[in-house]
């Protein structure tokens, strides 16, 4: 039984512009799905609509099920974030808040008493111990993204949707996050990750989904999608090569 | 954390003592204390706490550290509403006056939000600019209304625009204090919902909190609180700006479970002290208390504004 299933899921704006066209797929619990596509291909529209974020002037059609629940957009915010949480690439606050305060807020969502062991475990796994007393506005963009990821994992939705949430991380942190994401997935969290870094996606994801001009053109294992034909469909004008990483054994794109 | 409450509590006791006994005429002490100074200290606590808590909540739900009842025009709207209610003969009833004030406050807030949505993002300074313009509009409307409607109206313009704690009786003082306690208690009880607003609009629902519902309730309660406050003591500016700023930045308390009670206490301290100065510095003359708070508050606003522009806040 799939945790998340889409059937002919579409997102349209009012004067009939299609942002996401008739998308169908299933995602089992503990999966990591990478979402890739050129700018404006509809990734964010897809991810936001799945997460139940309503945007004025947009309509969805088709079916979207998360753990036997449909009509995510009709739920109360609390019911919704227990199922699916959407995180974007950055955040800011005009107030002086520390990292510890933010993470504890994440831990308290929808529960009576926060799971302190969980918080400690995530902080250790992501090496965020030194960050805790820091004021959020003093963090760099990349540091903020680490904190945001930690908050999402601590909050423990069934599906964590990360929309370019690692765009500012350095290589070392990126690979570390990939490893930790795999670990959290093994513990039963499900991830949808949009990124512009194909080589990061091949490292972190079990499966990839390619979008182009509002349409999902391919979905499958990394090994099946990193082929000359599929890549040519994605980028007709680019000559991309596929190589195998001697380090991780995963396929990588060379350009 | 305990220390912060001890400090605030002691400061409140000290400021009440100052307000009660500063330049007290000891030949008539009992009478003056009972009839004048005690109601005055109580109304200062009620109004100060109400303004500080309102300011803190508005800053949070509008994601704007410069927001407060005065800069957003809510206080002005309340004063205008109350003044109109007065001349329509609602004066006799305590609730008529307050209803006018609450409606005025609410009208300005709703109008402001509509204008801001039509203009630009809510976090920008344009919200404050619009708020100050609405405030000036209501203040001018109030001045003209009072001058036309009532032969003695010109004198009450000062009361509305600069605030005065000397007219209030014990009953009103206790009512305002009670209301301030109840509303602050509500915000304290639902402090987690307010916390969700600390990271901007996009993150509110991610914490499982309904954006619209929470914001609407906050706006309604703040309008009621500010309405009652203004109809009792007139407009007193900047308490709602300075106190939350002080508590957030200098006491390092941003989560509302502690922010709300600390703002309550320090707001009470600020207005009690301000009013003690107002009634004692120029004896036998009264200084307008709103002028004293603005004299301190406006520079704080400017400092905050400059820091924000530099991107430090």
The stretch A146-172 carries a mean pLDDT of 95
Model confidence at B90: pLDDT above 70: no
* Per-residue pLDDT tens digits for B174-209: 999 999 999 999 999 999 999 999 998 889 999 999
Q: Considering CB atoms only, which of A81, A94, A96 is closest to B63?
A: A94
The answer to whether A134 faces chain B, any CB pair under 8 Å, is no
Model confidence at B120: pLDDT above 70: no
Model confidence at B311: pLDDT above 70: no
The answer to whether A184 faces chain B, any CB pair under 8 Å, is no
Q: How far is B263 from chain A (nearest CA, A)?
A: 15
Give the model's pLDDT for residue A7. 92
* Per-residue pLDDT tens digits for B109-118: 999 988 887 6
* Per-residue pLDDT tens digits for A162-173: 999 999 999 999
Looking at per-residue pLDDT, the higher value among B127 and B88 belongs to: B127
Q: B91 falls in which pLDDT band (50, 70, 90)?
A: low
The answer to whether B249 faces chain A, any CB pair under 8 Å, is yes
CB atoms B248 and A96 under 8 Å: yes
Give the model's pLDDT for residue B117. 75
SS3 B232: helix
Looking at per-residue pLDDT, the higher value among A110 and B95 belongs to: A110
Residues of B in contact with A87 (CB under 8 A): 206
* Per-residue pLDDT tens digits for B214-244: 999 999 999 999 999 999 999 999 999 999 9
Model confidence at B81: pLDDT above 90: yes
Model confidence at B313: pLDDT above 70: no
Model confidence at B310: pLDDT above 80: no
What does chain A look like in DSSP terms, one character per residue?
A: --SEEEEEEEEEETTTEEEEEEEEEEE-TT-EEEEE--TTSSHHHHHHHHTT---TTEEEEEEEEETTB--GGGS-HHHHHHHEEEE-S----SS--BHHHHHHHHHHTT-SS--HHHHHHHHHHTT-GGGTTSBGGGS-HHHHHHHHHHHHHHH--SEEEEESTTTT--HHHHHHHHHHHHHHHHTT-EEEEE-S-HHHHHHH-SEEEEEETTEEEEEEEHHHHSSHHHHHHH-TT---EEEE-TTT--EEEE-
Model confidence at A105: pLDDT above 60: yes
Model confidence at A10: pLDDT above 90: yes
b or e along B111-140 (b: 16 or more beta carbons within 10 Å of the residue's beta carbon)?
A: ebbeebeeeeebbeeebbebbeebbeebbe
B207 within 8 A of A80, measured Cβ to Cβ: no
Q: Could you report the predicted ipTM of this complex, rounded to two decimals?
A: 0.89
The number of domains in chain A is: 1
* Per-residue pLDDT tens digits for A83-96: 999 999 888 888 88
Chain A nearest-CA residue for B244: A95
Q: Considering CB atoms only, which of A88, A96, A109 is closest to B207?
A: A109
What are B67's two structure tokens? 């927001």
Q: How high does pLDDT run on average in chain B?
A: 89
Domain of residue A91, CATH code: 3.40.50.300
Give the model's pLDDT for residue A239. 87
Give the model's pLDDT for residue A114. 83
How distant, in Å, are the alpha carbons of A151, B16, B169, B176 from that of B172? Answer: 47, 18, 6, 6
Beta strands across the sheet bearing A84-87: A58-66, A4-13, A17-27, A215-221, A207-212, A32-36, A190-194, A159-163, A84-87
Give the model's pLDDT for residue A103. 94
Give the model's pLDDT for residue B92. 54
Q: B29 falls in which pLDDT band (50, 70, 90)?
A: confident
From A89-103, B63-77, B141-155, the region with the lowest mean pLDDT: B141-155
The answer to whether B192 faces chain A, any CB pair under 8 Å, is yes
* Per-residue pLDDT tens digits for A111-139: 878 888 889 999 999 999 999 999 998 99
Considering chain B, what percentage of its residues have pLDDT values greater than 70? 94
From A119-128, B29-38, B61-70, the region with the lowest mean pLDDT: B29-38
Considering chain A, what percentage of its residues have pLDDT values greater than 70? 100
Q: A155 falls in which pLDDT band (50, 70, 90)?
A: very high
What does B148-202 look like in DSSP terms, one character per residue?
A: HH-TTHHHHHHHHHH--STT--HHHHHHHHHHHHHHHHHHHHTHHHHHGGGG-HH
CA-closest candidate to residue A51, choices A103, A91, A18, A9 = A9
CA-closest candidate to residue B163, choices B100, B229, B244 = B229
Give the model's pLDDT for residue B38. 93
Give the model's pLDDT for residue A100. 93
* Per-residue pLDDT tens digits for A191-219: 999 999 999 999 999 999 999 999 999 99
The answer to whether A105 faces chain B, any CB pair under 8 Å, is yes
* Per-residue pLDDT tens digits for B42-55: 999 999 999 999 99
Give the model's pLDDT for residue A116. 87
Give the model's pLDDT for residue B75. 95
Catalogue all structural domains in chain B, each as residue range(s) with its CATH number: 65-309 (1.10.3470.10)
Residues of B in contact with A101 (CB under 8 A): 254-255
Q: Considering CB atoms only, which of B195, B208, B252 is closest to A110?
A: B208
How distant, in Å, are the alpha carbons of A30, A100, A126, A142 from that of A182? Answer: 9, 24, 13, 20
pTM, to two decimals: 0.91
CB atoms B206 and A97 under 8 Å: no
Q: A153 falls in which pLDDT band (50, 70, 90)?
A: very high
Considering chain B, what percentage of its residues have pLDDT values greater than 90? 61
Q: How far is A130 from chain B (nearest CA, A)?
A: 19
Give the model's pLDDT for residue B94. 65
What are B17's two structure tokens? 């003592």
Give the model's pLDDT for residue B121. 55
Give the model's pLDDT for residue B79. 94
Model confidence at B93: pLDDT above 70: no
**Domain range enclosing A104:** 4-254
């Amino acid at each position: 039984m799939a945790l998340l299933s889409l059937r002919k899921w579409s997102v349209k704006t009012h004067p009939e512009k299609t942002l996401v066209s008739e998308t169908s797929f299933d995602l089992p619990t503990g999966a990591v799905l990478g979402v890739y596509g050129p700018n404006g291909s509809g990734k964010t529209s897809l991810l936001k609509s799945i997460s139940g974020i309503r945007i004025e002037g947009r309509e969805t059609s088709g079916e979207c099920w998360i753990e036997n629940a449909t009509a995510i957009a009709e739920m109360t915010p609390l019911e919704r974030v227990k199922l699916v949480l959407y995180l974007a690439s950055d955040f800011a606050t005009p107030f002086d808040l520390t990292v510890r305060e933010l993470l504890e807020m994440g831990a308290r969502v929808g529960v009576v008493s926060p799971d302190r062991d969980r918080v400690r475990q995530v902080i250790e796994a992501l090496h965020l111990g030194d960050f805790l007393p820091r004021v959020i506005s003093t963090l760099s963009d990349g540091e903020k993204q680490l904190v945001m990821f930690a908050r999402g994992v601590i909050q423990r939705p069934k599906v964590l949707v990360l929309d370019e949430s690692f765009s500012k991380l350095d290589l070392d942190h990126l690979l570390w996050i990939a490893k930790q994401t795999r670990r959290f997935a093994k513990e039963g969290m499900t991830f949808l990750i949009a990124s512009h870094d194909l080589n990061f996606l091949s490292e972190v994801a079990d499966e990839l989904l390619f979008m182009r001009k509002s349409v999902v053109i391919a979905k499958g294992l990394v090994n099946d999608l990193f082929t000359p034909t599929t890549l040519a469909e994605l980028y007709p004008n680019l000559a991309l090569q596929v190589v195998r990483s001697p380090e991780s054994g995963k396929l990588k794109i060379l350009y | 954390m305990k220390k912060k409450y001890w400090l605030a509590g002691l400061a409140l006791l000290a400021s009440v003592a100052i307000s009660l006994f500063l330049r007290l005429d000891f030949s008539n002490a009992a009478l003056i204390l009972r009839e004048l100074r005690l109601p005055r200290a109580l109304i200062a606590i009620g109004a100060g706490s109400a303004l500080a808590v309102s300011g803190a909540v508005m800053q949070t739900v509008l994601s704007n550290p410069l927001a407060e009842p005065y800069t957003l025009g809510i206080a002005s709207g309340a004063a205008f509403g109350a003044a109109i209610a007065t001349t329509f003969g609602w004066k006799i009833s305590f609730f008529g006056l307050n209803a006018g004030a609450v409606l005025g406050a609410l009208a300005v807030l709703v109008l402001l939000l509509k204008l801001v949505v039509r203009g630009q993002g809510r976090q920008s300074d344009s919200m404050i600019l619009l708020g100050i313009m609405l405030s000036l509009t209501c203040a001018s409307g109030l001045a003209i209304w009072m001058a036309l409607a009532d032969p003695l109206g010109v004198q009450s313009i000062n009361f509305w625009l600069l605030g005065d704690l000397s007219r209030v009786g014990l009953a009103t003082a206790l009512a305002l204090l009670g209301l301030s306690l109840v509303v602050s208690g509500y915000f304290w009880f639902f402090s987690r919902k307010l916390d969700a607003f600390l990271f901007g609009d996009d993150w509110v629902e991610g914490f499982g909190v309904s954006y619209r519902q929470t914001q609407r309730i906050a706006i309604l309660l703040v309008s009621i609180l500010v309405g009652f406050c203004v109809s009792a003591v007139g407009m007193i500016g900047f308490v709602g700006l300075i106190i939350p700023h002080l508590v957030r930045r200098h006491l390092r308390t941003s989560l509302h479970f502690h922010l709300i009670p600390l703002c309550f206490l320090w707001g009470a301290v600020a207005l009690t002290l301000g009013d003690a100065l107002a009634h004692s510095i120029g004896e036998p003359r009264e200084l307008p208390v709103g002028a004293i708070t603005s004299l301190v508050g406006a520079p704080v606003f400017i400092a905050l504004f400059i820091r924000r522009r530099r991107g430090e806040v």
